[in-house]
Amino acid sequence: MIPAPFDYEVAESVDHARELLGSREEAKALAGGHSLLPLLRLRVVRPSLLVDIGRIDGLSYARDAGSQLAIGALTRHHDIATSPIVQEHNPLVSYAAGLIGDPQVRHRGTIGGSLAHGDPASDLPAVMLALDAEIDVAGADGVRTVKADAFFRGAFETAVLPGELVTEIRVPKLSGEHIWSYLKFRRRAQDWATVGVVAVARRNGCVSEPAIALVSMGATPLRAPVAEAAWAAGDDPGAVADDGTDPPSDTNGTGEFRRHLAQVLVRRAVEQAGGDR
Ligand code: FAD
């Protein structure tokens, strides 16, 4: 289908983008376009103005920020997957980015777009939740930092308000003590996850600070606190992996199938994280 008519403006800076986005109630930012354009074509969204943020300088980077790794909102999935600095300091993020869609999607899609879109089937939101990431959002009153656990509010609903822009994402650097895994079950290589599981923890004799996050098991990416406690206690986290979840039923699988998958994948993810790489 052809999108409903809209105006188009190119933003030259973050401030310019905020100004343009704030100028109309129905304005939307356009980054890689790989989630927004399909919605426009289906006329699920009908913005009166598209603000192209893709050409703003200085929002595509990955840099050392002390104990954290900072990633610019316009950094494309491919660049995250192949960035030496991300691979060195947080290989979980680069690995998960490399599993998104197909090469075309990874060369256009951005981390900021993926988080702001708030699709519970996307990979990076769950990774950010497991890592307790910080997300900078620029608005009329300046930049505020939102923790990942407060960022995802519902299906396709995030803490980003009209007129605001995600500018930077920060994740902790993983040390030699960290163990991690990301497992994504999908029918075809380029598909979204039917269920995905992120597992990360510290291991220094015993497992501490366990984090398990689930993709496609509810309206938002979800932490699995009961499974995390079981992992730390040396019990089977798979048996309780779907506690507190509300998985959807769709063409990829029923909710019941997803619950089963979550149990199997959490068990495997924890095993894989604990194994030698
Ligand atoms: P856009 O499509 O440009 O924007 C998406 C939404 O976010 C819009 O509402 C836009 O206004 C808003 N937005 C964008 N950037 C910002 C910003 N900086 N600040 C505030 N709001 C912003 N994703 C996965 O995780 N896993 C997959 O397996 C996967 N497979 C895919 C397969 C296909 C065929 C396609 C088309 C997409 C797939 N995706 C997948 C989604 C892909 O990762 C998208 O690129 C991503 O979700 C959105 O990023 P974008 O830069 O394209 O955002």
CATH code of the domain covering residue 251: 3.30.390.50
pLDDT per position as a tens digit, 125-159: 999 999 999 999 999 999 999 999 999 999 999 99
Domain assignment of residue 146, yes or no? yes
**Could you tell me if 132 and 147 are in contact, meaning their C-beta atoms sit under 8 angstroms apart?**
yes
Tell me the CA end-to-end span of the chain in Å, nearest whole number: 46
Asked if the model's pLDDT at residue 75 lies above 70, the reply is yes
Supply the pLDDT for residue 276. 46
Domain assignment of residue 57, yes or no? no
Q: What's the whole-model pTM score? A: 0.97
For residue 31, the CA-to-ligand 1 centroid distance in Å is 8
Average pLDDT of span 31-58: 95
Supply the pLDDT for residue 275. 67
- The Cα 216–Cα 222 span in angstroms is 9
Tell me the pLDDT of the chain averaged across its residues. Answer: 96
- 12 and 73 inside one domain: no
- 200 and 255 inside one domain: yes
Domain assignment of residue 1, yes or no? no
Which residues does ligand 1 sit against, CB inside 6 Å? 28-36, 53, 73, 100-101, 105, 108-110, 112-114, 116-117, 122-124, 160, 165-166, 192
Last residue within a domain, chosen from 170, 194, 214: 170
- The Cα 212–Cα 129 span in angstroms is 9
Average pLDDT of span 28-41: 96
| 102 token code pair | 């197909």
- 212 and 264 inside one domain: yes
Domain that holds residue 162: 62-170
Dump strand ranges (E) for 110-205.
134-139, 142-147, 152-154, 157-158, 165-172, 178-185, 195-204
- 237 and 203 inside one domain: yes
- 69 and 160 inside one domain: yes
Domain assignment of residue 243, yes or no? yes
